[in-house]
């Protein structure tokens, strides 16, 4: 049985797809057979972040509608043979997703995969609801600002009341906090919520802090999941997150400002 | 789709009649001296202008039905104070005629000449007995709801009796109880106790950062919270219709 992970947030633009790609790649690199599904039907992006946009033939909706088999639609990553991508359909909308269809696909994936990562769309509508419905674990991606924190809180409410586990009265979804785009310098200036502030509001287990980083944008544009960039702090943060998720005890990093020389301070805005 | 098959004429209905129940303030009059009434009313309004301004008002004349009252002047005075009389109840046929002349509806009087202070408990007892009749064993205990998880933004909890939350209540969440509310965590959302009119209901929380707190309909919003209560453990209750927030 696969473990189904949903990467969600409520708010858009906080780094769900970046996180999904990084986490899926990280798990696969550790030798676990992992599938990552793009639930953002109509606004397909995951294939770009993973650099497989030119190899999309069939998609998630095709599989749901029995127009293609799962094996035809899954794209095997060229960098890691344990990672498979199920892209979203760009020409359809979220209504093309059905609970039965999604359930069927996840069940089939569960037979052969160790982890299935569901990249949720923003919002709390159909796409997001179906992405989280079958989940075992939830990675709640939050930016250190009030609207993102409140939307995450709303999403946590939905996770605990509208998921399959909640409906069947099973053990609730395990919820983890991923604080992304964190900038200790701005926290120090009081312009950004601190890790403590966010944890105080959400009271959630912190899986990791991902620092704001220029390398995320260039990695996205290049179609390379950021976790493969071992020199970037964001990439290292995701590696830590995967390790912690798999049970390793790693101290948190990137929470405090790193010491910089005079030039560093002058030239970094 | 189902409306397609119904034999409706070209225009769809412009309205429908429905019965609704709302709670409105009742002004029990004990005096016919309009100057005195106006003076005291303005004093009251000063205490909570946002609550009283434009608030609808039912005038209860039961206590002064044997006295002479210039209803037209009284209604004018009340309107000038910012409140909106919408009807009368109690009183004599003569007073009712005055009301009709002023286009104010006359409502059925509350049984005999009871004033509001006796009314509330009577109503409550009626409800309590209604609830308890199917289960006579539980006649002396009220049902408490206990919640162990955080109540997240957008979630809403309603408890028939007391509500006990052993976690936080997030901003944008609502906890509502007919009885007391206890929150052993931070209250950032809304808490409404005694929503069926129990004025003895109270709210307790270990860290007050609420958006709104209310007891039996008397409420206070975050902006009006005293800074000395904010981020503190507090007890919230009604004292003579006034909402008291006390640090504990």
Q: What confidence tier does B92 reach under pLDDT thresholds 50, 70, 90?
A: confident
A269 burial type by CB count under 10 A (0-12 exposed, 13-18 middle, 19+ buried)? exposed
Task: Determine the pLDDT at residue A264.
Answer: 58
Three-state helix/strand/coil letters over chain B:
CHHHHCCCCCCCCCCCCCCCCCCCCEEECCCCCHHHHHHHHHHHHHHCHHHHCCCEEEEECHHHCCCCCCHHHHHHHHHHCCCEEEEEECCCHHHHHHHHHCCCCEECCCCCCCCHHHHHHHHHHHHHHHHHCCCHHHCCCCCEEEECCCECCCCEEEECCEEEECCCECCCCEEEECCCEEEEEEECCEEEECCCCCCCCCEEEEEECCCEEEECCEEEEHHHCCCCCCCCCEEEEEECCEEEEEEC
Contacts of A157 in chain B (CB under 8 A): 151-155, 170, 173
How far apart are the C-alpha atoms of A219 and A232, rounded to whole Å? 10
Position A4 scores a pLDDT of: 97
Q: Crossing angle of helices B71-80/B93-101, nearest 10°?
A: 50
Weakest mean pLDDT among A231-240, B16-25, B152-161: B16-25
Bin B208: left if φ > 0, else alpha if -120 < ψ < 50, else beta.
Answer: beta
The pLDDT of residue B134 is above 80: no
How close B219 comes to chain A (CA, Å)? 24
Q: Please state the rounded mean pLDDT for residues B99-125.
A: 58
Say yes or no for a CB contact (<8 Å) between B171 and A201.
yes
- ipTM more than 0.85? no
Q: Do the Cβ atoms of B152 and A157 come within 8 Å?
A: yes
Q: Shortest CB distance from A154 goes to which of B153, B168, B188?
A: B153
pLDDT at A82: 96
Q: Choose the weakest-confidence range: A220-224, B100-104, B191-195.
A: B100-104
Least confident window among A59-63, A153-157, B40-44: B40-44
Pairing state between β B242-247 and B234-239: antiparallel
For residues B3-32, average pLDDT = 72
Answer whether residue A14 shows pLDDT above 80: yes
Instruction: Identify the residue among A10, A201, A202 best suited for mutation to test binding to B, counting B beta carbons within 10 A and taking the highest.
Output: A201
Predicted structure pTM score: 0.67
Residues A161-196 have pLDDT tens digits of 999 999 999 999 999 999 999 999 999 998 999 999
Greater confidence (A7 vs B1) lies with A7
Q: What is the pLDDT of residues A98-122, one digit of tens each?
A: 999 999 999 999 999 999 999 999 9
Q: By mean pLDDT, which of A91-105, A213-227, B122-136, B154-168 is the weakest? A: B122-136
Model pLDDT, residue B142: 67
- pLDDT confidence of residue B9: 57
Contacts of A129 in chain B (CB under 8 A): none
A89-105 mean pLDDT: 91
Which of A89-93, A168-172, B147-151, B238-242 has the least mean pLDDT? A89-93
A153 contact residues in B (CB cutoff 8 A): 152-154, 170-172
Q: Maximum CA pair distance of chain A?
A: 61
Mean pLDDT of chain B: 80
Residues in Cβ contact with A224 at an 8 Å cutoff, skipping those fewer than 6 apart: A51
pLDDT band at A267 (very low <50, low <70, confident <90, very high): low
pLDDT reported for residue A262: 60
Of A157, A200, A202, the CB nearest to B155: A157
* Structure tokens, B205: 């929380």
User: What is the 3-state composition of chain A as percent helix, strand, coil, each rounded to the nearest 5?
Assistant: 45, 15, 40
Average the pLDDT over each of A5-14, A30-39, A256-265, B21-30 and give the range with the smallest value: A256-265
Q: How many Cβ contacts (< 8 angstroms) between chains A and B?
A: 36
Query: Does A201 touch chain B if contact means CB atoms closer than 8 Å?
Result: yes
Q: How far apart are CA A157 and CA B169, in angstroms?
A: 11
Model confidence at B128, in pLDDT bands (50, 70, 90)? very low
Has residue A140 got a pLDDT over 90? yes
Give the whole-number percent of chain A exceeding pLDDT 90: 88
| Whether the predicted pLDDT of B123 surpasses 90 | no
Residues of chain A contacting B153 with CB distance shorter than 8 Å: 150-151, 153-154, 157
> Under 8 Å CB-to-CB from A229, ≥6 apart: which residues?
A215, A219, A235
On the question of pLDDT at A17 being above 60, the answer is yes
**Quick one: pLDDT at residue B113?**
39
Report which of residues B118 and B187 the model is more confident about: B187
The residue among A247, A248, A231, A177 whose CA lies nearest residue A208 is A177
Of all residues in chain A, the percent with pLDDT exceeding 70 is: 96
Query: Of B168, B172, B186, which is closest to A154 when you measure between CB atoms?
Result: B172
- pLDDT bucket at B132, cuts 50 / 70 / 90: very low
Q: What is the pLDDT of residues A219-264, one digit of tens each?
A: 999 999 999 999 999 999 999 999 999 999 999 999 887 665 566 5
Q: pLDDT band at B1, cuts 50/70/90? A: very low
């Amino acid at each position: 049985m696969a473990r189904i992970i949903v990467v969600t947030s409520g708010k858009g633009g906080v780094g769900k797809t970046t996180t999904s790609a990084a986490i899926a790649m990280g798990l696969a690199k550790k030798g676990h057979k992992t599938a990552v599904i793009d639930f953002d039907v109509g606004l397909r992006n995951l294939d770009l972040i993973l650099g497989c946009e030119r190899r999309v033939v069939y998609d998630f909706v095709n599989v749901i509608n029995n127009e293609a088999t799962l094996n035809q639609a899954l794209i095997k990553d060229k960098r890691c043979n344990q990672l498979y991508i199920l892209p979203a359909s760009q020409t359809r909308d979220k209504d093309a997703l059905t609970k039965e269809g999604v359930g069927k696909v996840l069940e089939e994936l569960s037979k052969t995969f160790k982890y299935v990562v569901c990249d949720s769309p923003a919002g709390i509508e159909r796409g997001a609801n179906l992405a989280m419905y079958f989940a075992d674990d939830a990675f709640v991606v939050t930016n250190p600002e009030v609207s993102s924190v409140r939307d995450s809180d709303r999403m946590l409410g939905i996770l605990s009341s509208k998921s399959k586990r909640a409906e069947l009265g099973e053990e609730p979804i395990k919820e983890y906090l991923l604080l992304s785009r964190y900038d200790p310098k701005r926290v120090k200036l009081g312009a950004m919520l601190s890790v403590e502030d966010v944890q105080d509001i959400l009271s959630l287990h912190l899986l990791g802090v991902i620092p704001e980083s220029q390398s995320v944008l260039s990695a996205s544009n290049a179609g390379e999941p950021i976790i493969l960039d071992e020199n970037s702090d964001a990439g290292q943060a995701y590696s830590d997150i995967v390790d912690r998720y798999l049970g390793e005890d790693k101290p948190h990093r990137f929470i405090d400002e790193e010491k910089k020389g005079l030039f560093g301070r002058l030239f970094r805005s | 789709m189902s409306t397609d098959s119904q034999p409706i004429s070209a225009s769809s209905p412009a309205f429908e009649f429905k019965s609704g129940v709302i709670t409105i303030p009742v002004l029990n009059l004990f005096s016919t001296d309009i100057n005195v009434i106006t003076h005291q009313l303005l004093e009251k309004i000063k205490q909570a202008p946002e609550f009283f301004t434009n608030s609808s008002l039912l005038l209860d004349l039961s206590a002064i039905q044997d006295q002479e009252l210039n209803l037209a002047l009284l209604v004018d005075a009340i309107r000038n104070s910012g409140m909106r009389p919408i009807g009368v109840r109690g009183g004599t046929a003569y007073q009712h005629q005055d009301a009709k002349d002023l286009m104010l509806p006359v409502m059925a009087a509350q049984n005999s000449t009871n004033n509001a202070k006796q009314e509330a408990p009577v109503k409550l007892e009626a409800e309590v007995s209604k609830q308890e009749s199917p289960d006579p064993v539980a006649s002396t205990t009220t049902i408490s709801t206990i919640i162990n998880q955080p109540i997240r933004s957008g979630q809403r909890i309603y408890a028939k009796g007391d509500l006990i939350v052993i976690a936080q209540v997030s901003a944008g969440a609502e906890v509502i109880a007919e009885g007391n509310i206890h929150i052993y965590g931070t209250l950032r959302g809304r808490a409404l106790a005694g929503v069926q009119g129990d004025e003895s209901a109270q709210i307790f929380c270990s860290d007050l950062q609420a958006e709104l707190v209310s007891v039996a309909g008397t409420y206070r919003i975050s902006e009006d919270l005293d800074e000395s209560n904010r981020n503190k453990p507090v007890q919230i209750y009604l004292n003579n219709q006034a909402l008291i927030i006390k640090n504990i």
